[in-house]
Chains A and B, each alone.
Chain A
Amino acid sequence: MLQLEPRLENSRVWIIATPVIAVLCTIIAGGAMFALLGINPVQATQTIFWAPLFDPELSAYARPQILVKAAPLILIAIGLSIGFRANIWNIGAEGQYVMGAIAAGAVGLAFYPLDAWYIFPLMFVAGLVGGAAWGFIPAMLKTRFGANEILVSLMLVYVAEHFLASVSLGFLRNPDGSGFPGSRNFQQYESAANPELIAGTGIHLGVIFAIFVVALAYALIRFHRFGYQVNLTGKSLRAARFSGVNPTKLTIACLCLSGALAGLAGMFELTGPAGQLTIDFNVGYGFTAIIVAFLGRLHPIGITAAGLLMALTYIGGELGQFMLNLPSAAIQAFQGMLLFFLLSLEFLTTYRIRFKLKRDA
């Protein structure tokens, strides 16, 4: 008989081994799916996992794209993970991302066409404040009125999206754009631009900032009282209160912090890869980051790995679509399998499987 037994301590070996096994399982199950679709499974998995990184022709385009996509995912996921550790569920990073971008864009455009060093830093602050303010709304409603932050933060995403549509058609629209929706292009406004720093690598200020935030988050969680209080609150709210944590302040801090980082991700995206505020500026980074945060087990290093892996499957999936004519549904199913195996195998870190003969009682 199969039996599950809880482990006394989480297994370190399995924490490292499960992602590897999950990828292998995905390759096998996904390969079977591709084979059923009449596509060479080896070629398909190679295109998704291998080509973006090492293919001599394709990687020149794909490799920088991985960093470009991973940076906002990691940045947002780090912020979310700190709240998640304390059981504060910000689901609305997408909205905070949009509001950060709008705030930063508005500040930048206010100075147009002035050329000054301080414009980009001001936009940075605006992005931070914009995202934090959007996170502060669910924080205040939760702490003052007991409103569920999951619902409020999620609904605010749609408010933000409509606001985005309104400003990109309205007061932030490019006056020289011959009536097309969308703002001026920030890539062409030097004082507000966030260009690729080293050509061909995809590295821009947002990537550097994300690396900095990963290190900072690691130190915060490991060595700072705030990180300790966040962990303690997640483990036991009552013990946290007893320790002296003020749950109201902590809730506000976590929601504003995750909002601020999402807002900054929006700001870097706007001034860099996206360039322009348009109706379809946001592409779901805020939602994908939730998956990244959990996939990385709420740990900064794990989140970095998970963010890169997610970016890789996105880019690889795109390559698969135009190189092999894979249907996009198959790519999504493949990505779904990866998540499924990663999350379902996680129980091996906390449980062990035993084979037992049933004995007579």
Chain B
Amino acid sequence: MARFFDAEQISKTYPGVKANDQIKLSIDAGEIHALLGENGSGKSTLVKIIYGLLPPDEGKMLLNGQRYRPQSPRQARAEGVAMVFQHFSLFEALTVAENIELGMDDPPSRNKLEATIDQIGQRYRLPILPRRIVGDLSVGERQRVEIIRCLMQNPKLLIMDEPTSVLTPQEADQLFETLNELSHEGTSILYISHKLEEIRNLCTRATILRLGKVVNVCNPKSKSAQELAELMVGTNFATASKGSTVKGSEPLLCAENLSCGAVTEFGVSLSDVNFEVKKGEILGIAGVAGNGQEELAAVIAGEAKATGSLRFKGSDLLHKRITERRELGLLTAPEERLGHSAASEMSLTENAFLTADQRMALSSSGVIDWKKTKDFTRSVISQFDVRATGADSPARALSGGNLQKFVIGREIAQKPEALVVNQPTWGVDAAAAAIIRQALIDLASKGAAVLVISQDLDELLEISSSIAVLNLGQLSAAKNTDEITRNEIGLLMGGVHGPTVGSETTVVAA
């Protein structure tokens, strides 16, 4: 295969950190090339440079043998480089065709455009109806819109940023078919992910970054996932191991017909959710993001109102305030680290006070004992190996993984009787994720009831004792982890989406 893209000696420095240090990256024509690395390893910076969002401090790039220096994404697109972002930039109130039209410099007539969308959709197995409103689409369908939008420009190099993090296993498989199809036609793909298994399946070459430097270029198929992870992290680390769970008989936290309205405009409302978590049990809640995860976490925490019943240690929770629930021993860690579970401008000590005031008795009649709070903060920092300059450093100065260790550690250190975590390892590096998972397992083995909401199916299979699936605000019955297959979970995750995809395919084909 011919060399298509070359980057040499790319460097980029931010204040205090060298994000890219003499990076070399080469991609052949039609190759699916993996870019691997932890959060903060410089993946995003490199990709932004290639896509014209950032100018590099040093280095040069060649595209098809020609000097390539995009000043803007528009120029990058003109030269045949397209990118699908992890976070979509679609207008929910507009239709698929309107959204695609908005991104074009020179859009054709609406009819012609819709025909092209259908055509690309058929050719690359990306079925989508051009007239559907984006707000009504599933996440997988929205991603298809983004991909079609890129393919409209006939890109020679397609950059995909963590594309499967929001997909069900079936949707991911479908995406891989599309990508393989593209690669056969000669389109090069730069595939960014931290999911090692899928990279081993999809890619033939991987460039691994650590701390802004290329540490290895290899064929991922020839290495095990553990080896790849160790190259990424630079050290050996243990994967979480399930402890012996002391299962109680009585359910500690149980919900009956729990319903609530959507928290955001295009959110999902929960309808008649039932579950119970026993002492020592980890109940995993799988599902594609945006199917009511945020709502469920908010209802249990006490941030959103709900109907039905939610009982903890036998007492009714729904009429209790969030602080009262904490006093009872029910703690929560929401998905968003910055701005929800922690305030970015505040110090770690202040952030520790944010949830630990009640259970750790950090204040008396309103007067805060900052010394005690600081001691507690330090114990969280050391117990969970949080890398920070100290208890006074602001939350925003921590990397995603370290802040997440702090936020989860803050709850675990309060010795909760029940803990609810939403996306505990979202955007967290592999080493930190392993620590967090092990901490959750240890907490359960000490007799706490743990509820983990996660999009990462591997994670749930690894740590939970039983799994239920949340889809369109409805929760499936929980099944023992040993008795449920990945495929079964995938189908439940697809839920109502499954048939829709099928029927659409027929419509498009007809």
Q: Please, how many angstroms separate the alpha-carbon atoms of A238 and B341 in the complex?
A: 8
Contact code string B336-357 (vs A, CB < 8 Å = 1, else 0): 1001111111100010011101
Q: Please, how many angstroms separate the alpha-carbon atoms of A327 and B340 in the complex?
A: 53
Q: Please, how many angstroms separate the alpha-carbon atoms of A9 and B397 in the complex?
A: 9
Residues of A within 8 A of B354 (CB): 232, 239, 242-243
**A8:B323 contact, CB within 8 angstroms:** no
**A225:B357 contact, CB within 8 angstroms:** yes
Nearest Cβ in chain B — how far from A69, in angstroms? 34
Q: Does A361 contact B (CB under 8 A)?
A: yes
Determine which of A7, A226, A235, A239 lies in contact with B366 in the assembled complex, contact meaning CB atoms within 8 Å. A226
Binds A, one of B54-62, B218-226, B469-477: B54-62
Determine which of A6, A7, A228, A361 lies in contact with B368 in the assembled complex, contact meaning CB atoms within 8 Å. A228
Q: Does A359 contact B (CB under 8 A)?
A: yes
Contact code string B228-259 (vs A, CB < 8 Å = 1, else 0): 00000000000000000000000000000000
- A225-B366, A232-B343, A235-B343 given as contacts; is B357 within 8 A of A242 (CB)? no
**B350:A8 contact, CB within 8 angstroms:** no
Nearest Cβ in chain B — how far from A254, in angstroms? 16
Within 8 A of B (CB), among A167-225: 223-225
**A8:B397 contact, CB within 8 angstroms:** yes
Q: Does A5 contact B (CB under 8 A)?
A: yes
**B303:A241 contact, CB within 8 angstroms:** yes
- A8-B397, A242-B334, A242-B354 given as contacts; is B366 within 8 A of A232 (CB)? no
Within 8 A of B (CB), among A1-34: 5-9
- A235-B344, A236-B343 given as contacts; is B353 within 8 A of A5 (CB)? no
Nearest-neighbor residue (CB-CB) of B369 within chain A: A223
Q: Does A231 contact B (CB under 8 A)?
A: yes
Q: Please, how many angstroms separate the alpha-carbon atoms of A27 and B251 in the complex?
A: 73
Q: Does A146 contact B (CB under 8 A)?
A: no
Within 8 A of A (CB), among B344-397: 344-346, 350, 353-355, 357-358, 363, 366-368, 370, 394, 397
- A6-B15, A223-B368, A225-B368 given as contacts; is B321 within 8 A of A244 (CB)? yes
Residues of B within 8 A of A232 (CB): 343, 346, 350, 354
Interface residues of A: mostly helix, strand, loop or mixed? helix
Determine which of A6, A8, A239, A361 lies in contact with B342 in the assembled complex, contact meaning CB atoms within 8 Å. A239
Q: Please, how many angstroms separate the alpha-carbon atoms of A304 and B373 in the complex?
A: 30
Q: Please, how many angstroms separate the alpha-carbon atoms of A98 and B167 in the complex?
A: 61
- A232-B354, A241-B303, A242-B334 given as contacts; is B367 within 8 A of A224 (CB)? yes
**B303:A235 contact, CB within 8 angstroms:** no
Residues of B within 8 A of A239 (CB): 339-343, 354
Nearest Cβ in chain A — how far from B226, in angstroms? 35
Q: Please, how many angstroms separate the alpha-carbon atoms of A7 and B339 in the complex?
A: 20
**A242:B341 contact, CB within 8 angstroms:** yes
Q: Please, how many angstroms separate the alpha-carbon atoms of A231 and B349 in the complex?
A: 14
Nearest-neighbor residue (CB-CB) of B59 within chain A: A361
30 A-B residue pairs with CB within 8 Å: A7-B15, A8-B15, A8-B16, A9-B394, A223-B367, A223-B368, A224-B366, A224-B367, A224-B368, A225-B357, A225-B368, A228-B350, A231-B350, A232-B343, A232-B350, A236-B343, A236-B344, A239-B354, A241-B303, A242-B301, A242-B303, A242-B322, A242-B334, A242-B340, A242-B354, A242-B355, A243-B355, A359-B58, A361-B55, A361-B59
Residues of chain B having any CB pair with chain A under 8 Å: 15-16, 55-60, 69, 301, 303, 321-323, 326, 334, 336, 339-346, 350, 353-355, 357-358, 363, 366-368, 370, 394, 397
